[in-house]
Chain A
């Protein structure tokens, strides 16, 4: 009897554990947004977070989207050649980058660069009692550490997505014009004609969601870090894994909402 029940008990324990983790994350998210609308506001920390999340991410965003756009152009050209549709390269590169690859690539790069650094920084602060010190200095850790970073992520990542989209499209353009014999002006005209405002708006909306997820995961795992170097390592690894999975899941859901109706 116990052999039969053991797997069920394990499954039950795992389910309860997952639900508890989900509940803790939901509470953390709710508290973060509640603190966003209640003073005090730490503008200096917000400015620093904008720089860290946005400005200092530009090189990695630029390079990844540039190469992604170039590779996409090559793939579409090669694939399209199978049914004489090479001419659609500008349109497919544009829609592929703006609707999907731009926001997703930027989200994943932010998860790799920013989520990890936020989680490691806050976890180290926790391990070295700096979070406790904040409390004793009458400063709410969530207001001082979490709110500026999450708000910066929500605001600045759409801008990064916009930049990434442009660079990605230009990567496709460079490859198409440089190696696939496309006419430069025609390529750009086709891109501009094909893209709709709704494509750009949904891309930016995905960016905001991804930015929120990436920064929130960094803060959540950092604040809930275990002790010692191992605790910091686990928090950092967990934050990036969670951010990457949630960004892709959110992208799937948002794509369903935006493009299937």
Chain B
């Protein structure tokens, strides 16, 4: 469904992506792991068009992601941002229903609100949260609202950017379980980037290890502990010794 072929991206002298090749079949949950600053977010944002690759091809259902109707293309995606990226000036329900109140998916405000409240309930938030503003919510609640917004328009593809960053382990577990449940329930194709190994094990069908601008290893999550790849082995063990240079 999503295919990255030899994708390159540099910022000045910093060559972040150096030929990324990755395939995510329809309905599969792919988690990309890798250290901070290895280009995981850039790879994800390249698919959405938030970052333009220098070269390479990104295909979604066999079609170039950069061609065709941008609105229709983006309407297929939902995205949970690392910090939530909720709009401060809007109450929670308008954040969740943002896409349903504008553009091609626009519907009456009452209906959009009802859907927002239902999606909030789906992520474990009570209806009274709907009228609060994002600044009034805890970090965990903001993540849930971000998740509700990502699934509000029932997208075919959902991206999760560091979904558990900044959360305590219990809340991380709750968010991981929610993501897994929702992805399975919706039959969505998911792409998650994280360096939280508990997220990897909870969310992934398959795992890809990004390092030095290329995918070093790809395989089922069940093979993660016996991948035979020194990069993956070092990363999941959290060891300072190995092929991944650790700056002390």
Question: Which residues of A approach B to under 8 Å, CB–CB?
Answer: 40, 42, 124-125, 128-130, 132-133, 135-139
Residues of A within 8 A of B241 (CB): none
Docked-complex contact A138 and B71, CB < 8 angstroms: yes
Contacts of B103 in A (CB 8 A): 40, 138-139
A136 in contact with B87 (CB, 8 Å): no
Residue of A nearest to B103 (CB): A138
Contacts of B86 in A (CB 8 A): 130, 133
- B74, A133: Cβ atoms under 8 Å? no
- Chain B residues with CB under 8 A of A136: 48, 50, 74, 77-79
Q: A123 to B143, alpha carbons, bound, how many Å? A: 22
The answer to whether A135 touches B99, judged by C-beta atoms less than 8 angstroms apart, is no
CB-nearest residue of chain A to B95: A133
B75 proximity list for chain A (CB < 8 A)? 138
CB of B83 within 8 A of chain A?
Answer: yes
Q: A133 and B71 in contact (CB under 8 A), knowing A40-B103, A139-B103?
A: no
Q: Indicate if B57 sits at the interface (CB-CB under 8 A).
A: no
Q: A136-B50, A136-B79 are in contact. Are A128 and B102 (CB under 8 A)?
A: no
| A125, A130, A135: the one within 8 Å of B74 (CB) | A135
- Can you name 28 A-B residue pairings with CB atoms under 8 Å? A40-B102, A40-B103, A42-B102, A124-B88, A128-B83, A129-B81, A129-B82, A129-B83, A129-B85, A130-B85, A130-B87, A132-B45, A132-B50, A132-B81, A132-B85, A133-B81, A133-B86, A135-B48, A135-B49, A135-B50, A136-B48, A136-B78, A136-B79, A137-B74, A138-B75, A138-B99, A138-B103, A139-B98
With A135-B50, A137-B99, A139-B98 already in contact, 4 other A-B pairs whose C-beta atoms are closer than 8 Å: A42-B102, A130-B85, A133-B79, A136-B48
Provide the bound-state CA to CA distance between A139 and B86, in Å. 14
CA distance A40 to B102 in the complex (A): 9
Q: Which residues of A contact B87 (CB under 8 A)?
A: 125, 130, 133
Q: How far is the CA of A40 from the CA of B86 in the complex (A)?
A: 22
The minimal Cβ–Cβ distance linking B57 to chain A, given in whole angstroms, is: 21
Query: How many whole Å from B113's CB to the nearest CB in chain A?
Result: 15
- Give the CA-CA distance A129 to B142 in the complex, in Å: 14
Is B102 a contact partner of A139 (Cβ separation < 8 A)?
Answer: yes
